[in-house]
Amino acid sequence: MQAVTTEPTSLTTALQTHIAQAIVAAGGWIGFDRFMALALYTPGLGYYANDSTKFGAMPQSGSDFVTAPELTPLFGQTLALQVDEALAQTGTHAVWEFGAGSGALALQLLDALGDRVQRYTIVDLSGSLRARQQTLLARHAHKLQWVDALPAQFEGVVVGNEVLDAMPVQLLARHGGHEGGVWHERGVVVHEGAFAWADRPTDLRPPVEIEGPHDYLTEIHAQGQGFIRTLADRLVRGAIFLLDYGFGESEYYHPQRHMGTVMCHQGHLADSDPLVAVGLKDITAHVNFTAMALAAQEAGLEVLGYTTQAHFLINCGLLSKMEQLPQVQRATAAKLIMEHEMGELFKVLALSKGTAWNALGFVRGDRSHRL
């Protein structure tokens, strides 16, 4: 059991009360996926639904983390070349962005693509972020629309940068090791007025056998896979580009990765305790890209490619764009492709509905065969 101390703000108090009531209503225990969903997305109170700054390059701004589009506009300008090719290959004229954050990526894509995009739709559950996006994107207002759910059918190019990592995951814990070890689902209870962990035996399992005698904590990604299946079901014609941090299955469930991948971000500091400061910090998990690719194929999508962010952006012409920048800006942009920054941990998975093609971002370094 782990007690919670939080900042005594009205936000955290209201959110904790709401989650505690949900736990009581569920019989005293909820799975971590439910807890994560409530912590991030409860209307008006959850992390992505409240008015905190979230996105920015420096903690002095009140932000908690930086994403690639906030780091440098070259990210969106380079991605735009791949989106442009995809629009042409699929014969579509619409872009759909999920979880558009501050709106920085949308601005970069809209500026770069010009008349190639006739409609840009942002799918975002956060009302406060939507207001920020509308302000930033005002000059493109005639092309923009916001929705909080997908229509029954749509076409175009889908972009999701750091979307999958924010989707709730189920936590699985093995106690007692490989021989005779018992799998549990880790959930959350209220203990002495605070949130605490509690494990329950479960029939759920990771997709691969975890070798070794040690206790093991990991995640499975039912909501992320469900998101992919929904896209496959409703996308009539188009392509999907998902950029996020994560691994293929063999690396994700490596015996040495025994502490799982759930991380929290607040004030540009990372920690591994989502039960603290609920509503004031982001909660994420790395993406199992094998699971996403399999869900896509089973639902009728083609895998166009899978590679590191470094390979993808270099294939799309980032280096020539960097050469035109002053040294300071060039050094910042280099973080997108440096191995110890975003270049190796971040991956790009591309999917298509309809005829596949040799997509620009995967001409060198494609790792689809390693999924």
Task: State the CATH number of the domain containing residue 146.
Answer: 3.40.50.12710
DSSP string over 59-127: GGGTEEE--HHHH-THHHHHHHHHHHHHHHHHT--EEEEES-TTSHHHHHHHHHHGGG-SEEEEE-S-H
Please report, rounded to a whole number, the percentage of residues in the chain having pLDDT higher than 90.
Answer: 83
Residue 23: inside a domain = no
What DSSP letter does each residue of 239-293 carry, written as one string?
A: EEEEEEEEE-HHHHT-TT-TB---EEEETTEEES-TTSSTTTSEEE--EEHHHHH
pLDDT tens-digit series, residues 215-257: 999 999 999 999 999 999 999 999 999 999 999 999 999 999 9
Q: How confident is the model at residue 82 (pLDDT cuts 50, 70, 90)?
A: very high
Is residue 274, in this structure, part of any structural domain at all? yes
Total domains present in the chain: 1
CA dist., res. 137 & res. 140, Å (int) = 6
In-domain check, residue 248: yes
Residue 27: CB atoms within 10 Å? 7
Q: What's phi and psi for 99, nearest 5 deg?
A: 55, 65
| Residue linked to tokens 């941990």 | 345
In a domain, 198, yes or no: no
Q: What CA–CA distance (Å, rounded) separates 156 from 208?
A: 34
Q: Is residue 210 part of a domain?
A: no
Residues 9-34: what's their mean pLDDT? 92
Over residues 298-325, the mean pLDDT reads 97
Q: Hey, what are 355's tokens? A: 């005829």
> Can you say whether the dihedral through the CA atoms of 353, 355, 359, 364 is positive or negative?
positive
Pairing outcome for strands 154-161 and 94-98: parallel
Which of 209-226 are b and which e, b meaning 16 or more Cβ less than 10 Å from the residue's Cβ? Answer: ebeeeeebbbbbbbbbbe
Does residue 4 fall inside a structural domain? no
Q: Are 166 and 99 in contact (CB under 8 A)?
A: yes
The answer to whether residue 194 is domain-embedded is no
What range defines the domain where residue 83 resides?
A: 59-168+218-370
Structure confidence at residue 311 as a pLDDT band (50, 70, 90): very high
What are the angstrom distances between the C-alpha of 110 and each of 79, 126, 168, 180? Answer: 11, 21, 30, 55
Mean pLDDT of 320-340: 95
Q: Hey, what amino acid is at 342?
A: M
305 neighbors 362 (Cβ within 8 angstroms): yes
Is 81 inside a domain boundary?
yes
